[in-house]
Amino acid sequence: MLLQSLTHYQRDRKRLGQIVAVLIRYGLAEQLERYEPDFVKRLLSHEDVGDLAKLPLGERVRRACQELGPTFIKFGQVLSTRPDVVSKEVATALQALQSNTAPSPIEKVIALIEQELGEPLQELFAEFERSPLASASIGQVHRAVLHDGRQVVVKVQHPGIEEIVKTDLEILIHLARFLEERDETIRAYNPTAIAEDSKRTLMRELDFRRELRNQQAFERNFAENPDVHIPDTVPELSSQRVLTMELLDGYSIGEFERLQAEGHDPSQLAQVGAHAFLTMVFEHRLFHADPHPGNVFVLRDGRIALLDFGMVGRLDDDLLDDLLDLLIGFVDSDGQAIARAVQNLAAVPADSDPVALRRDLAEMQDELAATPIDQLNVAQVLEQFTALVRTHRIRMPASIALLIKVLIMLDGTSRDLDRSFSLMDLLQPHCERAIRRRNSPRAQMRKAIETGRDWSRFLGRLPGTLDELAQNLQRRDLSINLQHRGMEATVDRLVSGILCAAMLLGGSLLWALQAPPTLFGISLLGLLATGVALVHGVRLLLQIGRRP
């Protein structure tokens, strides 16, 4: 039973019932109904069956996440970055999830701040506004003034939110594992790994110290850029659950009418913002992973400012190299190179059809080749590529999935600012510079040194390994473990065939010898054995004809 297998505490079981009841109401529990009909039936009520199940799938998933609260809102926001897993329709709907929640009681908020920072509130801040500027699923933000006169905002977690998130995430992983063990179609998408990846992402967001380090890294990366501003942090007034930073004098880049009223050039802002994000990807290898307009501000002096560094993406050298190989393959119209780059970049299922994958990639590449580069819509290309990847059940690395989402959002926001904006025009020189850096003598020398170190370590360990192997051979203590996969069915058929042949031979001998008991001179045991062997043989032939 699903309910019985959920250990831990009684409240976990109660919460599981609440979650499943919401999934039922929105028509999202078909698999659970199949495997746990009694448990699901107990949660049904008349109002559970209505028009909600007739809504589009993406809208149902979004509403269910919204109703289930903070953990599922954040989980939905994470899944909105994975159209390769949940489809474009669902991912797009999840991008509209709103994190606005009722603020926590101010007394509890102040108590948490004092507990985290170790001093009374009046000692920490000269002024502290009791009414929050905003309240989201994980925390709320208050305006404050430091004793040196600096105006800041204080981001505080909702008291008790960490325990709620942990409980919900454990239930999510439990549900994913339960369904994965029972449904081969669901298993192909590896939902347990996705749930566990999401748990790691959300638990990192709950640690404001990590967000503080991310923000400081962005401060260093853009220290010399006059067009981009990262808010200053106040580390001495920050902790795991409290984050204090500079109050920005600006507003969201999505307020287009206000931008024009105050004399800002939307086209210039689109160029500056896009350059900033592409610089993060191709030069810094560390990029802001949630660039919706609410996290991108325009300051009074016209600079771009970024907020909320809880979700970031990182690209190591290997990932960036594979990404560049993919881009080069599309530019050079090299279908084989594109297929190799996809296989290097992502987790391709063992049972996938490589011929079909190469064919679909080649068709996509042909469509791109027929379109002038100045007319290419990067967002449409990425969405088409994501749909292809999902069709072939290929799971992209989280960083690449985040990057695709960032580029799609960046293209959309930039086009809202400037209808003539082309992300491809900016993407091309950044890629070219990255390729030149990868092929530069310095980079090649670094790779040669790293390869030399690897060989040095290997050769250093080789004598000891060979000595151990020789000693095992002398002691006759050498064993080789061989594993075969996918041969169980073949072995079963082979054994069945041998038994069937033996039974047929034995039955024939009994029949020929007229072994008693007999009827009309026919051995009854021989007749029975021969009949069973023939029936089993026919069944075995039919199985072989149906399966490879």
In angstroms, the first-to-last Cα distance of the chain is 35
Tell me the C-alpha to C-alpha distance, in Å, between residue 287 and each of 97, 308, 312. 22, 12, 6
- Give me the catalytic one of 84, 168, 290, 325: 290
Fill in the DSSP letter of residue 196. H
In degrees rounded to 5, what are phi and psi of residue 247? -80, 125
Q: Is 353 annotated in the active site?
A: no
Structure tokens at 210: 């990590």
CA distance 386 to 92: 13
Residue 389: alpha-carbon gap to chain centroid: 14
Closest CA to 385 of 334, 338, 319: 338
27: left (phi > 0), else alpha (psi -120 to 50), else beta?
A: left
Q: Which residues contact residue 496 at a Cβ distance below 8 angstroms, ignoring those fewer than 6 apart?
A: 536, 540
Coil, strand or helix: which one is 516? coil
Coil, strand or helix: which one is 312? strand
CA distance 354 to 119: 62
Query: Considering Cα of 260, then 265, then 270, then 276, what sign does the dihedral take?
Result: negative
- Please, which residues bridge with residue 243 across strands? 155
Coil, strand or helix: which one is 47? helix
CA distance 115 to 381: 50
For every residue of 338-399, DSSP letters joined together read HHHHHHHHSB--TT--HHHHHHHHHHHHHHHHTS-GGG--HHHHHHHHHHHHHHTTPBPPHH
Pairing of the two strands 134-135 and 127-128:
unpaired
Q: List residues with catalytic annotation.
A: 290
